[in-house]
């Protein structure tokens, strides 16, 4: 008399033989859907070669060792020492939960819990990394406009500081007042950053009351701002 165990075992073998049951495998992702999913990633990552933002460029990520892009300096120690090589398996684990996959890393993204969108995004990254698809300029270009090419209304001639107010005068002769908390001072040392000693102001926010002044190097900031009421 056949036991239940033997019946289940026979059925299991039949399924394998018929090809109805296979070992777990990563689903093939949809590249087009993955390109749409990448829009979220694009806030922090570019697909342009060595175009780094908050996070490193993802150009050529497929098969690259984690934490080893030479042009990026903000990797966490845990990522640099991990020995991880980016492929379908490691990217899937990383995208599901960066914190769980590699504790102590600097990635603030919580992760993608659903397997389907992860598979789509991974498929897109593989195709983009290997050059099999043509990427739109928005995914590969530097994050800011070329600050060297801004007009006189953006070229800063002087910055005066009085109590809680910055007064910014531009090359077109106009002066704009900013509450000190609404004006940010930044540096951009990239190829599209401002010329040395020629800071540029760019609008920030929707109301026109906020701005960012970009300098070519940090030591220019204190030299440029004059205390004057």
Q: 162 and 97 in one domain? A: no
Residues 6+ apart with CB under 8 A from 103: 78
186 within some domain: yes
Mean pLDDT of 49-59: 95
By the 10 Å C-beta count (0-12 exposed, 13-18 middle, 19+ buried), 122 is classed as buried
CA pair distance 152, 21, nearest whole angstrom:
68
CA pair distance 140, 53, nearest whole angstrom:
11
Which domain does 76 fall in, by range? 31-140
Q: For 117-166, how does the pLDDT look when each residue is reduced to its tens digit (9 = 90+)?
A: 999 999 999 999 988 899 988 899 887 789 999 999 999 999 999 999 99
Q: 154 and 134 in one domain? A: no
Centre a 10 Å sphere on the Cβ of residue 178 and count the other Cβ atoms it contains.
Answer: 19
CA pair distance 121, 181, nearest whole angstrom:
38
Q: 165 and 119 in one domain? A: no
Q: 44 and 125 in one domain? A: yes
Q: For 191-213, how does the pLDDT look when each residue is reduced to its tens digit (9 = 90+)?
A: 899 999 999 999 987 777 899 99
Q: 96 and 167 in one domain? A: no
Which one is predicted more confidently, 90 or 140? 90
Question: Where does a domain end: 91, 106, 140?
Answer: 140
**Residue found by looking up tokens 């991880």 in the block:** 84
At residue 19 the predicted structure's pLDDT band, cuts being 50, 70 and 90, is very low
Share in percent of the chain as helix, strand, coil (round to 5): 30, 15, 50
DSSP state of 49: T
pTM: 0.73
20-29, 32-41, 103-112: least confidently modelled range: 20-29
**Residue found by looking up tokens 């050059």 in the block:** 131
């Amino acid at each position: 008399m056949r036991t239940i165990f033997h019946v289940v075992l026979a059925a299991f073998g039949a399924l394998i033989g018929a090809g109805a049951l296979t070992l777990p495998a990563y689903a093939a992702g949809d590249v087009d859907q993955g390109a749409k999913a990448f829009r979220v990633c694009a806030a922090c990552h570019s697909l342009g070669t060595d175009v780094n933002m908050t996070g490193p460029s993802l150009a050529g990520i497929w098969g690259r060792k984690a934490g080893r892009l030479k042009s990026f300096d903000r990797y966490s120690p845990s990522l640099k020492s991990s020995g991880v090589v980016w492929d379908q398996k490691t990217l899937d684990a990383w995208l599901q939960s960066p914190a769980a996959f590699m504790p102590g890393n600097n990635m603030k993204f919580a992760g993608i819990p659903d397997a389907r969108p992860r598979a789509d995004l991974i498929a897109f990254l593989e195709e983009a990394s290997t050059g099999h698809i043509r990427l739109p300029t928005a995914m590969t270009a530097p994050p800011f406009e070329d600050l060297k090419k801004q007009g006189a209304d953006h070229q800063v001639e002087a910055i005066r500081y009085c109590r809680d107010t910055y007064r910014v005068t531009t090359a077109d002769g106009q002066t704009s007042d900013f509450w000190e908390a609404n004006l940010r001072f930044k540096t951009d040392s990239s190829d599209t950053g401002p010329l040395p000693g020629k800071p540029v102001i760019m609008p920030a926010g929707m109301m026109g009351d906020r701005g960012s002044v970009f300098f070519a190097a940090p030591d220019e900031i204190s030299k440029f701002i004059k205390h004057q009421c």
